[in-house]
């Protein structure tokens, strides 16, 4: 069933990888909206259930449309196997739960997507899995936190929302030294610009809700890893707890994968230009873009990412009041907590996505009252530049 990538380039894999066709020979991938499957004979059913016949049994376990999505993204990442999930959070939870049991220990970078941080900091400890949160950019902090009972290290790079870049290869080496696995949430970098497996990661997770859909329609996630990890550790958890991806969503996301390079390349080109334009405006106190030479980890970003990606963080002078005035003055850029969308979106993390963090935790993460996160969409770069600069002028007014 797995379509080998034949040494194809990413663009080709994303159009053809993983495709299987029904006897009708449809051009576009078929949407198999079915819960279950029927068997010709009782013997056939028995063979399906005992694994002699590898066909489909029930869509909580696997589904042909979902399998096409899984095989396509696995081919892109160079992973042996993948499992689609109902959301990005289901993928993160699945990856961590599949690795851990009571008594184990997890180390994670503290600049995590809010719900990821909840799993590591609050949920896992309820089941006897202890965790340590570290400053992800500080390799000595990782070294000090990793102990013999550490089974997993978990990080996002670039981080949300301050776009710090974490040295994936260095953390992978430290994790492997104690037999732990490195899980990388690669949402912000996208599969085009960063290949965590090549840098030593063992498990990669995505929220497919973001760039992979890219048009704000549906939720989805995916866990990628070795065949043994997916078959022996992920599948039992998946089968018995049910975070399965809907075949309808898998179909939308398959179509999203076809156009992913076109969208991400354009969004990245526009983001790079906007970062340079915004950095010059006197109302911008700080601008963070992993593709710029003034990024705090510019050298590392160049080494582990092929481009700066689609997200910009900017701190406007004047705190919350200025950030709100700027956001409210935007005409094209919409206010939303999503990202990776065709529509450019701005978020004020301190009062939305990171509102529930204690003030001191926000300060520690560099999330000031004037910080805004901008997800660059597919609109024309000149229109976006004009919209953003006009709104910044109101901040100074
Ligand atoms: C959005 C996001 C998630 C969660 O994904 P959902 O699809 O919303 O469940 C996890 N990690 C990162 C980095 C994200 O941006």
What sections of 287-357 are H helices per DSSP? 298-304, 319-329
Residue nearest to atom 5 of ligand 1 (CA): 88
Q: What's the whole-number mean pLDDT along residues 151-166?
A: 97
Answer whether 372 contacts ligand 1 (Cβ < 6 A).
Answer: no
Q: What's the whole-number mean pLDDT along residues 337-364?
A: 93
Span(s) in the chain for CATH 3.40.640.10: 3-258
> Which position has the higher pLDDT, 51 or 248?
248
In angstroms, what CA-CA distances link 393 with 237, 330, 367, 382, 386? 52, 11, 22, 16, 11
CA-112 nearest atom, ligand 1: 13
Instruction: Look at the domain 261-396 and name its fold.
Output: 3.90.1150
CA of 201 to the centre of ligand 1 (A): 19
Give the angle subtended at the CA of 80 by the CAs of 76 and 86, to the nearest 5°: 75
CA-90 nearest atom, ligand 1: 9
Least confident of 35-44, 334-343, 348-357: 348-357
State the average pLDDT for the chain: 96
Q: Across the chain, where does the E strand assignment appear?
A: 81-85, 105-109, 130-134, 150-156, 181-185, 203-207, 221-225, 284-288, 311-316, 334-335, 345-347, 371-375
Instruction: Collect all residues with Cβ–Cβ distance below 8 Å to 176 and sequence separation of at least 6.
Output: 182, 200
Least confident of 65-74, 97-106, 348-357: 348-357
- What's the pLDDT tens digit per position in 88-116? 999 999 999 999 999 999 999 999 888 99
Answer whether 113 contacts ligand 1 (Cβ < 6 A).
Answer: yes
Question: If DSSP codes are grouped into helix, strand and coil, which group holds residue 188?
Answer: coil
Answer whether 93 contacts ligand 1 (Cβ < 6 A).
Answer: no
Does pTM top 0.85 for this prediction? yes
- pLDDT band, residue 397 (cuts 50/70/90): low
Answer whether 297 contacts ligand 1 (Cβ < 6 A).
Answer: no
pLDDT of residue 57: 95
Residue nearest to atom 15 of ligand 1 (CA): 187
Instruction: Look at the domain 3-258 and name its fold.
Output: 3.40.640
Span(s) in the chain for CATH 3.90.1150.10: 261-396
């Amino acid at each position: 069933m797995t379509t080998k990538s034949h040494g194809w380039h990413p663009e080709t894999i994303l159009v053809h990888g993983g495709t299987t066709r029904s006897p009708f020979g449809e051009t576009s991938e078929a949407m198999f909206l079915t819960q279950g499957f029927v068997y010709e004979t009782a013997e056939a059913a028995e063979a399906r259930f005992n694994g002699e016949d590898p066909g489909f049994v029930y869509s909580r376990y696997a589904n042909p449309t979902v399998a096409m999505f899984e095989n396509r993204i696995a081919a892109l990442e160079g992973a042996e196997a993948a499992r689609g999930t109902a959301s990005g959070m289901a993928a993160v939870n699945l990856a961590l739960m599949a690795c851990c049991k009571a008594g184990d220990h997890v180390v994670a970078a503290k600049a995590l997507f809010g719900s990821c941080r909840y799993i590591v900091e609050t949920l896992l400890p309820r089941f006897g899995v202890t965790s340590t949160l570290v400053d992800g950019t500080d390799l000595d902090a990782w070294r000090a936190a990793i102990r013999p009972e550490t089974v997993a290290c978990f990080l996002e790079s670039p981080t949300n929302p301050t776009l710090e870049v974490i040295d994936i290869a260095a953390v992978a080496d430290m994790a492997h030294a104690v037999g732990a696995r490195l899980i990388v949430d690669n949402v912000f970098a996208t599969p085009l610009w960063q290949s965590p497996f090549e840098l030593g990661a063992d498990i990669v997770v995505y929220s497919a809700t973001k760039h992979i859909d890219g048009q704000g329609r549906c939720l989805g996630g995916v866990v990628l890893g070795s065949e043994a990890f997916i078959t022996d550790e992920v599948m039992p958890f998946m089968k018995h707890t049910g975070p399965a991806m809907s075949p309808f969503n898998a179909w939308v996301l398959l179509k999203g994968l076809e156009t992913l390079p076109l969208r991400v390349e354009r969004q990245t080109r526009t983001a790079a230009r906007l970062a340079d334009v915004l950095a010059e405006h006197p109302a911008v106190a700080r601008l963070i873009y992993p593709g710029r030479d003034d990024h705090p980890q510019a050298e590392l970003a160049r080494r582990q990412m092929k481009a700066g990606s689609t997200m910009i963080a900017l701190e406007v002078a004047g705190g919350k009041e200025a950030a709100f005035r700027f956001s409210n003055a935007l005409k094209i850029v919409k206010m939303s907590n999503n990202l990776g969308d065709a529509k450019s979106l701005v978020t004020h993390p301190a009062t939305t996505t990171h509102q529930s963090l204690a003030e001191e935790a926000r300060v520690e993460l560099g999330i000031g009252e004037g910080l805004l996160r901008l997800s660059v969409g597919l609109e024309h770069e000149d229109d976006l530049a004009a919209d953003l600069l006009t709104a910044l002028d109101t901040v100074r007014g």
